[in-house]
A and B are shown apart, each in its own frame.
Chain A
Amino acid sequence: QSVLTQPPSASGTPGQRVTISCSGSSSNIGNYPVNWYQQLPGTAPKLLIYSNNERPSGVPDRFSGSKSGTSTSLAISGLQSEDEADYYCAAWDDSLNGPVFGGGTKLTVL
């Protein structure tokens, strides 16, 4: 059972906009910035969004993040086949005294 809660799966067709939610508590998302990671099949996670809504260089502006209270979400617009991957949210947690992750959302492009 992960500390941060994500839906296990999401899907969309090419060109669509999809959102992935992530909920936590005051000990993590409520007090700390959220980061999102993309994990393509068979590879290591890669930073996708940091500090709630910032994109590292090289990440397309189709990806965006938002946060409100103890919840956060990742939005992907103009869905492409190469977006098919697992997506994880993460934040520091005061109870653990370490970072916690969501259980991951598997995105399927139909």
Chain B
Amino acid sequence: QVQLVQSGAEVKKPGASVKVSCKASGYTFTSYYIHWVRQAPGQGLEWVGIINPGGGSTVYAPKFQGRVTMTRDTSTSTVYMELNSLRSDDTAVYYCTKVGTATCYRDCWFDPWGQGTLVTVSS
């Protein structure tokens, strides 16, 4: 079945970087865009950015531009999200999620979602 499995929880100090992985299985990895969405404790969902696993192109939310980098490894069907210059308000659960139909860019639903990776930023 289609599955996205993320790396484990991380604890980082302010100013550090974190790299979260998301391993895909059960479908053609290069045909479906993957988004990253985060959720701060007790808060709603916030879009971080999107990566095209096929060509590697990315689009980031303006709020994260300059601090986030998304990459992929087609040999292992894994996408990565690296966030730099971490601040306490970056503490959140980070989710990867796949678009519902192949090559969909705008009119997309997200299914499934990874289990989430808690990133805690604390001195």
Interface residues of A (CB under 8 A from B): 2, 32-33, 35, 37, 44-47, 50-51, 56, 88, 90, 92, 96-104
The docked-state distance in angstroms from the alpha carbon of A35 to that of B100 is: 11
Query: Chain A interface secondary structure, helix, strand, loop or mixed?
Result: strand
Interface residues of B (CB under 8 A from A): 35, 37, 44-47, 49-50, 59, 61-62, 95, 97, 100, 106-116
Min distance, Cβ B68 to any Cβ of chain A, angstroms:
12
Given contacts A92-B106, A96-B62, A98-B59, contact A47 B44 (CB under 8 A): no
B61 touching A96, Cβ below 8 Å: yes
Query: Chain B interface secondary structure, helix, strand, loop or mixed?
Result: strand
The docked-state distance in angstroms from the alpha carbon of A44 to that of B93 is: 9
Residues of B near A90 (CB, < 8 A) are 45, 110
Residues of A near B109 (CB, < 8 A) are 35, 47, 50-51
The docked-state distance in angstroms from the alpha carbon of A104 to that of B22 is: 25
